[in-house]
Chains A and B, each alone.
Chain A
């Protein structure tokens, strides 16, 4: 079974600084998808970024980028120029190719301080 581990229950960062959230996963699959979702206090789950395992290039979405290390089974999220609105729970998720069973990590609560 696939497992997703987020080893940082809580993190904080000063506004405008950079922070990296860690995620590791366990799988025997070669093709799969990885995601980071954000859940602000409003409770809404928002897709931040996604990565296909067959792509070597790290995904980037504006201030959000990932460091995907397939051999190490690591998928960290870097948030640059942190903003107060980035305060949220961040969930790492794994999904096998052609399988809708998405597995989530336990989440990291990020607080951006002014």
Chain B
């Protein structure tokens, strides 16, 4: 069974479009995250949600918005896509309990903006 899943795995779209990436975790974790990995493989956290509250919000453009319909899902919406948004986006989750705080990652979504 997949612990953290993302759809789609690949997304090719044109500049100016609006797109969403979905994430689901079946681990019963408390917190979910979105990371961006650029072309140089650098990983940077974008958002995290804990019990439907945004607790980390890095300096990302407001064109990016996380939406959490329930504890098991954290979707990423991107408006007015730009060339610089091309990257791999990872969803992750964690339990946030003592001795159990590591983050588990999804398979990533490669977004290509043309």
The interface of chain A, by Cβ under 8 A from chain B, is 33, 35, 37, 39, 42-47, 50, 89, 91, 95, 100-104, 106-107
Contact = CB atoms under 8 A, between A and B. Distances in A.
Contacts of A50: 102
Summarize B's interface: helix, strand, loop or mixed: strand
B108 A43 contact: yes
A89 B41 contact: yes
A104 B42 contact: yes
Given A43-B107, A101-B56, A102-B103, 11 more contacts: A33-B102, A37-B105, A39-B41, A43-B88, A45-B90, A89-B41, A100-B33, A100-B48, A101-B45, A106-B40, A106-B42
Summarize A's interface: helix, strand, loop or mixed: strand
B18 interface: no
Contacts of A45: 90, 92, 105, 108
Contacts of B48: 100-101
Nearest to B103: A102
A91 B43 CA distance: 9
B39 to A, nearest CB: 12
A44 to B, nearest CB: 5
Nearest to B32: A100
Contacts of A43: 88, 107-108, 110
A10 B95 CA distance: 33
Interface string B84-112: 00001010101010000111110110100
A28 B102 CA distance: 21
Question: Which A-B residue pairs are the 4 nearest by beta carbons?
Answer: A45-B105, A104-B43, A43-B108, A107-B41
